Structure 1
Amino acid sequence: MTYRADPARYDSMQYRRSGKSGLKLPIISLGLWQNFGGTRDYPSAMEILGHAFDAGITHFDLANNYGPPAGSSEELFGTVLARDFRPYRDEMIVSTKAGYNMWPGPYGEFGSRKYVLASLDQSLGRMGLDYVDIFYSHRFDPDTPLEETMGALAHAVRSGKALYVGISSYPEKETREAYRILKEMGVATTIHQPSYSMLNRWIEDDKTMDACGELGIGMIAFSPLAQGVLSGKYNKGKTEGTRGGNPNGSLRASHIEPRVLAAVEALEPIAHARGQSMVQLALSWALRRPEMTSALVGVRTLEQLKDNLGVLNNLSLADDEIAAIDAATKGGLMDLHPRPSGWLR
């Protein structure tokens, strides 16, 4: 059956402008980091992606290394575009990134012009696109001049292969410097994509969020649920089929240690009093700041997507609720400030 988008798809979603740009994003965006790789079949992928678009999620976030295996998320999304989403391409924001290891040798990762632009061409090929809407430097490269990396992003815009560019996981100092360099090249830093959640507040602590607000850079949070920890599932001992059950996965053991899970448990009565799931409380909190344009969610099932979308029913947080969240999470915070090698994504 040919997919036809719901005519009412824009009726309930909210959209926010990314910084000072003309680009608006849905407050909930869909990330294809770990759940849309080689093990995902087309029908189940389209069930989730189609429902997302029907609900007003216009932004689909990818990267060259998303899978597993690396590249497979872009390949799957490219198939969806070709089969079902092609008539709606101009209604969609498709983003991808370059920064992590993709091929052998000295030119297969980080921030050289050679790698960044070759990676973009490969991503466009996997997705069957002439351009992406947003192209990111996925992580700061301490060994490559920032002028070179930002120059590659500027070239992507000038060549028509990206409409907007952004940075991901850049600390405050590097964020300001990237902005300055791109501005001198006549290109805007439209968006910053950091990790951010109730348990992971590094962008507040090192003033990256304040810098983005000052400079007019939009922000989109990845891992607003702390990779599922804030859903409460790990408090119930559920690890099978989750990131917590994979010893080689991205969720570290320290992220589900007792002090963290105690903080999550203390959040449950706050969510209950608001009539929300834990997921919805976490998203409400991540979106509470005006600097935050959107929150990226990653889902395995349609039910999880629907739970995420339920946040639209109750977004506002009172001051006393924010204070209660701060008190509950005080002893369970994670240290995820990006180091020179970056946080693996």
Structure 2
Amino acid sequence: MNHAYRTLGKEGPQLSPIGIGCWQFSRGANAVGRYWDDVGEEDMQAIVRASLAGGINWFDTAEVYGNGASERALADALDREEASLETVYIADKWWPAGRKASSIEKTIGARRDALNQRPIALYQIHQPFSFSSAGKEMEAMLALKHRGEIGEIGVSNFNEKRMLEAYDTLHAEGVPLASNQIKYSLLDRRAEQNGLFDTCRELGISVIAYSPLEQGLLTGKYHQDPDAIKKKRGPRKWMGRFRSGYLEKTKPLMNLLEATAEHHEATVSQVVLSWMVHYHGDLVFAIPGASSEKHAAEHAGALNVRLSDNEAEQISKASWDVQL
């Protein structure tokens, strides 16, 4: 089993390169939570158990995922597994829509309660839109950090300009910005072109990639059975990326991924995740979701898959031809 953990940001905790995204734990509790098919309590427990057993030591959740339902489900599952408070980590996110930065301090008690008082190792601003500036948001985050209510400070979906505003506010107080959680995958590599990756690497800010498997598209499942998407809940069934034209366009990449997976006696998703967390050195962490024990075990197994430099470059070149 590979326990090659890496530091989050400049001085954060030692995390497995792959974590588990817990949007699916929302129990359909609000519009955001209903994006995914329901995951039952037993399945959530099995997902957490398999993740921990496979060497994954952190989970990403958010206030907006079912209005706290995901946080509560995750914390309950971790408690039942008697997961260590010191070596199993939770990343959480504050929802900014319609709020000011003052809400960050006002709502931290509710977040801590939802997590059964488990420590928040990384607290992130979920989106770049609120009634306050990134600087004001970081000042509120600093207050929480100084009181010991959160560990590291991160942002999510921030462009380079807003990320730098957050970084500068923290840096002036001697505190690093740990991470920027963004959408990034083999089919969506905008962050490599718009300067975000270069800036993160220069400043020691980790990139946390959500949707690394493009909501299942990069597993090959929908290439093998294009009609399978019609059975899924939420708007995915109407997205262009799941239509026959784009499935056909991405077939060369999928063929290469399948051949590489066969060579490594791995699955396509494991090859994708391995590429994600190694191609850019230690810069990128990935947080695929999991709706079953099988998915979680598969994601954890990706920690033990290591591509050759040549394989990684071939995959990279093939991916540039099929960007969304």
TM-score range, shorter chain: 0.7 to 0.9
Task: Find 1:144's aligned residue among 114, 132, 139.
Answer: 132
* SS of equivalent to 2:202: helix
Q: How does 1:1-345 map to 2 (within 5 A)?
A: 11-35=1-25, 37=27, 39-66=38-65, 69-85=66-82, 88-99=84-95, 106-107=98-99, 112-129=100-117, 131-141=119-129, 143-237=131-225, 240=228, 245-246=232-233, 248-249=234-235, 253-274=239-260, 275=262, 276-287=266-277, 288-319=279-310, 321-334=311-324
CA, structure 1 residues 209+129, in 2 after alignment: closer, same or farther (shift >3 Å)? same
Match of 1:339 in 2: none
* SS of equivalent to 2:145: helix
* SS of equivalent to 1:34: helix
Q: Which structure carries more relative contact order (alpha carbon 8 Å, separation 6+)?
A: 2
Percent same amino acid among aligned pairs? 25
**RMSD, matched Cα:** 2.4
Separation of aligned partners in 2, 1:306 and 1:80:
16
Aligned residue identity for 1:79? D
Of Structure 1 and Structure 2, the greater helix share is in: 2
Aligned residue identity for 1:77? L
- What TM-score do you get using the length of structure 1 for normalisation? 0.82
CA, structure 1 residues 310+291, in 2 after alignment: closer, same or farther (shift >3 Å)? closer
Separation of aligned partners in 2, 1:245 and 1:207:
35
Q: Kindly state the Cα deviation for residue 244 of structure 1 after the two structures are TM-superposed.
A: 7.4
Q: Which sits farther off after the overlay, 115-124 or 214-223? A: 115-124
Cα deviation code 1:275-318 (max 9, x no counterpart): 23221221122111124342111111111222223323332242
CA, structure 1 residues 243+173, in 2 after alignment: closer, same or farther (shift >3 Å)? farther
**Conserved in 2, the CA contact under 8 Å of 1:18 and 1:293?**
no
**Conserved in 1, the CA contact under 8 Å of 2:43 and 2:291?**
no
Q: Kindly state the Cα deviation for residue 266 of structure 1 after the two structures are TM-superposed.
A: 1.3
Aligned residue identity for 2:143? H
Separation of aligned partners in 2, 1:259 and 1:285:
25
**Conserved in 1, the CA contact under 8 Å of 2:85 and 2:119?**
no
Separation of aligned partners in 2, 1:119 and 1:58:
26
Q: Kindly state the Cα deviation for residue 100 of structure 1 after the two structures are TM-superposed.
A: 5.2
Q: Kindly state the Cα deviation for residue 36 of structure 1 after the two structures are TM-superposed.
A: 5.1
Separation of aligned partners in 2, 1:129 and 1:325:
42
CA, structure 1 residues 169+291, in 2 after alignment: closer, same or farther (shift >3 Å)? farther
Separation of aligned partners in 2, 1:133 and 1:94:
6
**Conserved in 2, the CA contact under 8 Å of 1:13 and 1:55?**
no
Aligned residue identity for 2:242? I
- What TM-score do you get using the length of structure 2 for normalisation? 0.86
Cα deviation code 1:49-82 (max 9, x no counterpart): 012112111101110011xx33211111222244
* SS of equivalent to 2:169: helix
Separation of aligned partners in 1, 2:11 and 2:238:
36
CA, structure 1 residues 259+201, in 2 after alignment: closer, same or farther (shift >3 Å)? farther
Separation of aligned partners in 2, 1:176 and 1:326:
28
Separation of aligned partners in 2, 1:177 and 1:243:
42
**Conserved in 2, the CA contact under 8 Å of 1:30 and 1:60?**
yes
Cα deviation code 1:142-175 (max 9, x no counterpart): 6422221111111120121101110111111222
Separation of aligned partners in 2, 1:169 and 1:267:
26
Unpaired stretches in structure 1, ≥5 consecutive residues? 1-10, 335-345
Aligned length: 310
**Conserved in 2, the CA contact under 8 Å of 1:99 and 1:139?**
yes
Q: Kindly state the Cα deviation for residue 220 of structure 1 after the two structures are TM-superposed.
A: 1.7
Match of 2:33 in 1: none
